Structure 1
Amino acid sequence: MDAYDIFKKLTKGLTFKHRVLGVNNNNTLLKPVKKEEIEIKQEQISDNEEDSQSLSEHTASESEGQSDQEDNDLQLIDGVKVGKKKKKEKKEKSEDLKKKLLLEEQNRFRNEHGIKTVGRHVPAALQDFSELMSRYNVSQGLVDTVRECGYTEPTPVQRQAIPCMLEDRQILACAPTGSGKTAAFLVPILHSLGPPQGGPRALILCPTRELAHQIYREALRLSASTLLRCSVVKNIKESKVKEREATIRKSDIVVSTPNRLCYLLNQDTVNISLDKVRWLVIDEADKLFEGSADQQSDFRQQLEQVLAACGGRARRLAMLSATHTPAVAKWARHHMRGVINVTVGQRNAATNLVDQKLLFCGNENGKLVAFRQLVQEGLKPPVLVFVQSKDRAKQLFKELIYDGINVDVIHADRTQMQRDNVVRSFRVGRIWVLICTELMGRGIDFRGVNLVINYDFPPSAIAYIHRVGRAGRAGQKGRAITFFTQDDIGNLRSIASVIKQSGCEVPEYMLQLKQNPNKRKKLMKKAPSRDKISTILEKRPDKRKLDAANAVIADKSKPTDSIKNSKNNKQRKIVNGNTQNKHKKEVTEKGNKVKKRKKKALGNKNKKAGN
């Protein structure tokens, strides 16, 4: 039943002027209605009947007046009424109208800052940090420390994520790299925990150890005005397990990787209770959910183990990342009740502050030439160089170490002490160029990185977004150059579209390239094989030696050519038997000759002695 059927039913039997769009309605006149005169017989009525008739007429007239008023005020559809026009009366705004106006103002403010929210009863976004004290009774000291850390105004993520977490709402936030996500979940946690009580009450999980140390440093800075204790789960050795257990028991906020935390929970000698945990934060959630099915299942099992250990009813979840993947969204829908999705800007897009460029190098040797040209033109350190594997990182380091550049490398084969020293020296400025793998592509905040070079083409658009996000952090501008060869065309279109979305120029032919989904899946699972990064000329063997080696191989292959099908084993046995018999005969003949020589020698000696 549509609006027209409802209109027909409501207007059945009514006569009024129809207004039609596009027609002069003033000229149209109502058709006169013919009234048929009916003769009514008059009869004599008694006094009682007259009284009852007068009462009935009076009630009928009242009912007709009411019905006329109802007909005059009859509303057919929203905004369309039947009856005489009445003067507009000034009425006070109702509470519903006020709520609608407030919602419109909040949505307008969100649209100005590029914030999109999905969920029920979404809290209003923050306009300034001073609202934290008036709306949520946040202490003055915490607000002052936030401003001292360099946050003069809240970033778009902080405007929406902080109110949601202060109202104990579970969130799934997606915001660009360098937009202040760490402070967005640390500030509400520091306020909601209150005074220290002993025992972990907030747990933060992240994919890499370097990112865990970075979050730990940021938590120490923001918790300076509070008495809360923060700790990070470092290397776990059998000799230091008890120390880690003691620090976790004393601390209120614990930062760790999921693997190390599960290792501690599985130890029989370790007694760590996570029943008091109120907030469980998963940073860079899409990284933990990506990879093969086995890797995903491993992390999900670890996450289920952590969630089972955090068995409190008041436990809340917050998941944050710079990119959005369907796997994370599906898991959040099933396991996070009343979740609020917060998205800042476009999903899966690079930052607008980075000037991005694609550079064709032909082959692997061309990449090294292009890099040295960039050095000759002049590099503004610090510079990050990404390669696809630790072996290629070592090869590139050997090539660049003799070019007069302060260069170093970080990968999984290096010890924890070496990795910490490299990161520290890169932050200070002792190292100008840092060669790294995907290990440093997630969440690491190197402020002031001017240039990011993708020496090896990234395996996916998400990996590209995270790599490029190391530059252009905290409102600063940066550059990103990506080298590509003929072998990288399978993934070129997706990354070219990401670059165009961020406002950079891209050739049109790149956006029209055909994509092979099977190749893309293979590239995500396994990196393509590439030539070695080296400029050392290897000595070629002499031509004569090569010919001699080929002749020997040919001689060996002659007897095998004559062997066919099922006769292989028999003929090989015969050949092997003949060769063994020949060898035995030669050995016995040599032995007999030696014996004869010895006998002759002994006979000659005896003759001499007799003489």
Structure 2
Amino acid sequence: MADKGLEDVPEGQIESNYDETTDSFDNMALKAELLRGVYAYGFERPSAIQQRAIMPVIKGHDVIAQAQSGTGKTATFSISTLQKIDSSVKACQALILAPTRELAQQIQKVVVTTKFMRDPVRILVKKDELTLEGIKQFYIAVEKEDWKLDTLSDLYETVTITQAVIFCNTRRKVDWLTDKLTARDFTVSAMHGDMDQTQRDVIMKEFRSGSSRVLIATDLLARGIDVQQVSLVINYDLPANRENYIHRIGRGGRFGRKGVAINFVTADDVRMMREIEQFYSTQIEEMPMNVADLI
């Protein structure tokens, strides 16, 4: 399954060359123990991507499936894979690939290439439909790069944050911002690719458990990591490419929950922000005074 934006997806919200949908887990002929597990996990009915993609995988088709963040892609390939494997065979029967260690541990999405596929089933969501409904997007105009830190400190004291992710474009900036906020007595954690895996695991565990409420990160965290209580995403730096924007702000508002994304924008960033708006057919408004009421 892939989450890459494909350029030839037409104007409809969903393109698929596989017409069958199954709107109930009971109708998927799942193994009894698997079906019990699905319901025990809290699922009630399949999401749109699950209705379209679980059955073709079970039937042995190659599948390319793309959908919004937080719509159930993990369960899609997990359920279909568990249906196909023989639990009595104590050997590796499935290989799941992910682009980062954290993602592999969470099994949030699988990236495959078409060269390994034979006439794959395609279930794709148009790229400019990928902005999640329910995420309110704002910007704060910052006159100078050097003023972003004070702006962040003011914002930090203005809003009550359940959990938040702050994105920077470089590992050095992550470390710098972490040190600066810590010096101002803000409690934050940081994660980037220069850290060893043990350290990253501890940081993610603390963030998932809620003992750490604010995580500063590079785009390492942007793809697929699902932390249930993230309500605020701050782009301290706008992403270097517009495709990463949706993966960043998708950390808030997972599975239809509400979220807020705030972008710090200098004069040099305005062009990129407009490109992001055009690319996703969205509008990023100036942050209102009552932003605390929205988080």
Q: Which residue of 2 aligns with 1:190?
A: 82
Structure 2 residue 47 is the aligned partner of structure 1 residue 151: no
Shift of 1:404: 3.0
With structure 1 as the length reference, what TM-score do the two structures score? Answer: 0.43
Shift of 1:342: 0.3
Q: Which runs of 5+ in 1 are unaligned?
A: 1-112, 219-281, 286-318, 320-330, 508-611
Q: Among residues 212, 215, 222, which one is paired with 1:441 in the alignment? A: 222
Stretch moving more, 431-440 or 348-357: 348-357
Shift of 1:498: 4.5
Q: Which residue of 2 aligns with 1:142?
A: 34
Q: Give me the whole-angstrom Cα distance separating, in 1, the residues matched to 2:264 and 2:88.
A: 51
Structure 2 residue 24 is the aligned partner of structure 1 residue 128: yes
Stretch moving more, 442-451 or 187-196: 187-196
Structure 2 residue 211 is the aligned partner of structure 1 residue 426: no
When the two chains are superposed, the root-mean-square deviation of aligned CA atoms in Å is: 2.1
Q: Which residue of 1 aligns with 2:72?
A: 180
CA distance change for structure 1 residues 403 and 494 in 2, over 3 Å: closer, same or farther?
same
Q: Which residue of 2 aligns with 1:266?
A: none
CA distance change for structure 1 residues 505 and 466 in 2, over 3 Å: closer, same or farther?
closer
Shift of 1:475: 2.0
Q: Which residue of 2 aligns with 1:210?
A: 102
Q: Give me the whole-angstrom Cα distance separating, in 2, the residues matched to 1:457 and 1:444.
A: 19
Are the equivalent residues in 2 in contact too, given 1:156–1:344 (CA < 8 A)? no
Q: Among residues 1, 10, 16, which one is paired with 1:117 in the alignment? A: 16
Q: Give me the whole-angstrom Cα distance separating, in 1, the residues matched to 2:266 and 2:284.
A: 19
Q: Which residue of 1 aligns with 2:256?
A: 475
Are the equivalent residues in 1 in contact too, given 2:174–2:217 (CA < 8 A)? yes
Q: Which residue of 1 aligns with 2:3?
A: none
Q: What is the aligned length?
A: 275
1:161-184 CA-partner distances (Å, limit 9, x unpaired): 101101111111110011110110
With structure 2 as the length reference, what TM-score do the two structures score? Answer: 0.86
Residue pairs, 1:287-436, within 5 angstroms: 319=112, 332=114, 335-344=116-125, 347=128, 349-436=130-217
Q: Which runs of 5+ in 2 are unaligned?
A: 1-11, 287-295
More helix by share: 1
CA distance change for structure 1 residues 343 and 155 in 2, over 3 Å: closer, same or farther?
same
Q: Give me the whole-angstrom Cα distance separating, in 1, the residues matched to 2:145 and 2:20.
A: 53
Give runs of ≥4 in structure 1 deviating > 6 Å: none
Q: Give me the whole-angstrom Cα distance separating, in 1, the residues matched to 2:55 and 2:143.
A: 51
Q: Which residue of 2 aligns with 1:454?
A: 235
Q: Give me the whole-angstrom Cα distance separating, in 1, the residues matched to 2:54 and 2:152.
A: 43
Q: Which residue of 2 aligns with 1:169?
A: 61
CA distance change for structure 1 residues 195 and 416 in 2, over 3 Å: closer, same or farther?
closer
Q: Percent of aligned positions with the same letter in both sequences?
A: 32
Shift of 1:199: 2.6
Q: Give me the whole-angstrom Cα distance separating, in 1, the residues matched to 2:85 and 2:130.
A: 34
1:334-389 CA-partner distances (Å, limit 9, x unpaired): 54222111024655631112111122212212211221121121231211000011
Shift of 1:114: 5.4
**Bigger RCO of structures 1 and 2 (CA < 8 A, at least 6 apart):** 2
Give the letter aligned to residue 83 of structure 2.
H
The structure whose Rg is larger is 1
Are the equivalent residues in 2 in contact too, given 1:348–1:462 (CA < 8 A)? no
